[in-house]
């Protein structure tokens, strides 16, 4: 059944678990996630980015893929979430399409690149909440900019993210400001910045607490214990999939993601929604490269697409279990 984000995250808070929010662009990703959720009895957040809507799927196909998932798995609660909305009007369109949750990312201007002022962020987020709540739709806001504490750079690899240098204050959400932001906007969930960034290139070495500030999450949670926190850029960048990609003709340099144990630490401290896109991309590409290399005469796309679906689904099962989502559908 389609439910609101608020309802799902309230349950997660009550029972101390987190929910991976997977980005979806096509049938295989949606299917992989639903197979995993069905296997582990987990609630599901499916999110569509601006990039997904621009891709072949477009908003109507995306929406119907998600509706098909709900129809086929009626016993699994599903949130249809719009990821990284760049303006209240983008969110309004998603609400009209039937999304049960939207993200108004007012940490950036509506170009999705330029860091905004605090006042701007409060204004666009508050207006979106007013509109969304009138329709029973939940809102995720974001305070702070995703960026690398190693390099001081924002990341815009995926077309959404600050461009250029960021200060430490911009890259680490301030607990006091977070309290003021939540009070003024009434958001249902708050995305925070703690040193993660979108894409595969988060850290040049396994992250230590100077470049991945889980302590900051603890401080924010201590200040606003009743607010559901969201971690973006939470792919773990599995080393085994990097190795497979590179073994079968790929060329991805050494890179590290957010260790699952660090996300578990976040979940102990108020993180309820964990955004993951890159991990499924890596598994999908690795499985495709391996299959085609090992089966050079095969030309039916269903063969390698089936392999990618299985690879993605295995990652989803692992995250549902690690985040203690399993058993809560
Ligand atoms: O927000 C970042 C997600 O990974 C979506 O990426 O815009 O390439 O679909 P995308
Ligand atoms: P990753 O690139 O780490 O998967 O993050 C995805 C994300 O935050 C989508 O909003
Ligand atoms: Na989001
Ligand atoms: Zn994100």
Q: HSE of 38 in the Cβ direction (CA atoms, 13 Å)?
A: 13
CA–CA gap between residue 197 and residue 146 (Å, rounded): 5
Query: Rounded to whole angstroms, what are the CA distances from 317 to 27, 28, 38?
Result: 18, 15, 10
Residues 6 or more apart in contact with residue 168 via CB below 8 angstroms: 149
Give the ligand at the shortest distance from the Cα of 278. Answer: 2
309 lines ligand 2 (CB under 6 A): no
3-state secondary structure of 252: coil
82 lines ligand 2 (CB under 6 A): no
Q: Are strands 19-23 and 228-231 parallel, antiparallel or unpaired?
A: unpaired
278 Cα nearest atom in ligand 1: 4
At 270, which CATH number? 3.20.20.70
- 130's tokens: 């007013």
23 Cα nearest atom in ligand 2: 9
Is 105 among the residues known to form the active site? no
Q: Which residues line ligand 1 (CB under 6 A)?
A: 23, 49-52, 83-84, 158-160, 198, 277
Contact (Cβ atoms closer than 8 angstroms) between residue 47 and residue 107: no
pLDDT at 159: 65
Residue 328 falls within a domain, yes or no? no
For the chain, counts of helices (H) and of strands (E): 13, 8
3-state secondary structure of 83: strand
Residue 325 falls within a domain, yes or no? no
Residues 26-55: pLDDT tens digits? 999 999 999 999 999 999 999 999 899 888
Residues 306-317: pLDDT tens digits? 999 999 999 999
- 312's tokens: 């993605």
Phi, psi of 228 (to 5 degrees): -75, 125
Contact (Cβ atoms closer than 8 angstroms) between residue 211 and residue 149: yes
Q: How far is the CA of 158 from the centre of ligand 2 (A)?
A: 9
Residues 133-186: pLDDT tens digits? 999 999 999 999 999 999 999 876 566 789 999 999 999 999 999 999 999 999
**pLDDT above 90: percentage of residues in the chain:** 94
Query: Rounded to whole angstroms, what are the CA distances from 269 to 167, 176, 222, 231?
Result: 25, 17, 8, 11
- Average pLDDT of the chain, as a whole number: 96
52 Cα nearest atom in ligand 1: 9
Give the ligand at the shortest distance from the Cα of 47. Answer: 3
Structural domains of the chain, count:
1
CA–CA gap between residue 179 and residue 183 (Å, rounded): 6
Q: How far is the CA of 188 from the centre of ligand 3 (A)?
A: 12
CA–CA gap between residue 313 and residue 317 (Å, rounded): 6
Q: How far is the CA of 7 from the centre of ligand 4 (A)?
A: 21
Query: Which residues are 20's β-sheet partners?
Result: 274
273 lines ligand 2 (CB under 6 A): no
156 lines ligand 2 (CB under 6 A): no
CA–CA gap between residue 179 and residue 227 (Å, rounded): 9
What is the pTM for the complete model shown?
Answer: 0.98
pLDDT at 308: 98
Q: How far is the CA of 140 from the centre of ligand 3 (A)?
A: 7
Residue 327 falls within a domain, yes or no? no
Residue 255 falls within a domain, yes or no? yes
233 lines ligand 2 (CB under 6 A): yes
Residue 296 falls within a domain, yes or no? yes
The DSSP string of 263-290 is HHHHHTTTEEEEEE-HHHHHHHHHHHHH
Q: How far is the CA of 103 from the centre of ligand 4 (A)?
A: 9
Domain that holds residue 69: 5-320
**DSSP code, position 253:** -
70 lines ligand 2 (CB under 6 A): no
Number of Cβ within 10 Å of residue 174's Cβ equals 20
Choose the catalytic residue: 10, 41, 83, 174.
Answer: 83
Residue 97 falls within a domain, yes or no? yes
Residue 326 falls within a domain, yes or no? no
278 Cα nearest atom in ligand 2: 4
């Amino acid at each position: 059944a389609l439910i609101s984000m608020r309802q799902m995250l309230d349950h997660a808070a009550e029972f101390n678990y987190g929910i991976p929010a997977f980005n979806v662009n096509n049938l295989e990703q949606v299917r992989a996630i639903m197979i995993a959720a069905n296997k582990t009895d987990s609630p599901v957040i499916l999110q569509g980015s601006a990039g997904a809507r621009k891709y072949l799927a477009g908003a109507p196909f995306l929406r119907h893929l998600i509706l098909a998932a709900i129809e086929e798995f009626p016993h699994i609660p599903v949130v249809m979430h719009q990821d990284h909305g760049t303006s209240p009007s983008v969110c309004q369109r998603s609400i009209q399409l039937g999304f049960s949750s939207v993200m108004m990312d007012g940490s950036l201007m509506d170009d999705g690149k330029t860091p905004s002022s605090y006042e701007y962020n409060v204004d666009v987020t508050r207006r979106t909440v007013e509109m969304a709540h009138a329709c029973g739709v939940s809102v995720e806001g974001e305070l702070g900019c995703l960026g690398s504490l190693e390099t001081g750079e924002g990341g815009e690899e995926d077309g959404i993210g600050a461009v250029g240098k960021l200060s430490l204050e911009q890259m680490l959400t301030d607990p006091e400001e977070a309290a003021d932001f939540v009070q003024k906007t009434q958001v249902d969930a708050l995305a925070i910045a703690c040193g993660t960034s979108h894409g595969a290139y988060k850290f040049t070495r396994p992250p230590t607490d100077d470049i991945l500030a889980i302590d900051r999450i603890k401080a924010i949670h201590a200040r606003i214990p009743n607010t559901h926190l969201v971690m973006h850029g939470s792919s773990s960048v599995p080393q085994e999939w990097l190795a497979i990609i590179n073994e079968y003709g790929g060329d991805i340099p050494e890179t590290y993601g957010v260790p699952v144990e660090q996300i578990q630490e976040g979940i102990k401290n108020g993180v309820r929604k964990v955004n993951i896109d890159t991990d499924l991309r890596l598994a999908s590409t690795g499985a495709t490269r391996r299959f085609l290399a090992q089966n050079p005469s095969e030309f039916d796309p269903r063969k390698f697409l089936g392999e990618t679906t299985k690879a993605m689904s295995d990652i989803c099962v692992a995250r549902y279990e690690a985040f203690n989502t399993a058993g809560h559908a």
